[in-house]
Amino acid sequence: MAATELHYKGTVRITVPTSVGYDLKKFQKSLASLAEKLGCLRCFSGADCFFQWERDYVINPATVAVQGIGASLRGTTPDTAPAVTASIPVAVSSNLGLLQKTVANIAGRLGCTPCTSGFDLLLRQEIRRINQINVKVNEVGAIG
């Protein structure tokens, strides 16, 4: 932990709005972009260097690209406020689109089950999907 503090000098914060958190594809893309931006975390010396000047990260919700902005925008300096924020802003280009996403998140996910006396396949689909992905991962791993 001491080494960590030495590397990052504080807490890294990632801000995730619920619409992104519940949109698995968008969440996945955001994390991939973040991982690229934070890639130098893997590098011992790079972390300090990278976070020295760029402490806030904004992800464009349309492109899911991560943009680094200066720490001064948060009214802080690197030395006095070492926290780093990777922010996924809530604003999207179209409010109609956002509302549609809000509806999509509730309908069939957070609300009650729609009218049916049948069967929901999501559990089985998920099991099949995960099994297929990991069969492929294992195959690639075995070949490699």
Partner 1 sequence: MVDPLQHAHSSSTARAGGNVGPARSRWGAGPHTALPELGVGIIYSSGIESLLHDHPGLIQVLEVEPQTLWLQVSTEDGPRFKTPDGVVEFLAGLPGRKLVHSVGAPVGGSLAPPSMQLDMVRQWVERLDAPWASEHLGFNATLEFHAGFFLAPRQTPDGVEMVVDSIRRFQQAMPVPVAIETGVNYLRPRHDELLDGQFVAEVAREAGCGILLDLHNVFTNALNGRQSVDEFLSLIPLDRVWEVHVAGGMEMDGFWLDGHCDVIPDELLKIIRRVVPALPNLRAIIFEVFPSFVPVMGLDKVRAQLERMQEVWRERGQPRGDGIFRPVPVVLRAETAVPEARVLPVHWEETFARLVIGREPDATELSQQLAADPGVEVIRKLIREFRGSMLVNVLRLTMRLILLALGEEAMRTILAAFWERVPPQFYATTEAEKFADFLESIDLRVPHLAKVLAFERALLATAIDDVPRLVHFDFDPVPLLRALAEGRLPEIEGKPGSFEIEVTPDSAAAEDGLALNWLGPNTQGH
Applying CB under 8 A, which part among 35-43, 52-60, 63-71, 72-80 lies near partner 1? 35-43
User: Rounded to an integer, what is the distance from CA 29 to the centroid of its chain?
Assistant: 7
- Max Cα distance, the chain (Å): 61
Tell which positions 37-66 bind partner 1, by CB under 8 A: 38, 41-42
Question: Site for partner 1 (CB under 8 A): which residue of 72, 120, 135, 139?
Answer: 120
Four-point Cα dihedral 78, 82, 83, 87, nearest 10: 20
The binding site for partner 1 (CB under 8 A) comprises: 1, 3-5, 7-8, 10-22, 24, 27-28, 31-32, 34-35, 38, 41-42, 85, 90-91, 95-96, 98-100, 102-127, 129-131, 133-134, 137
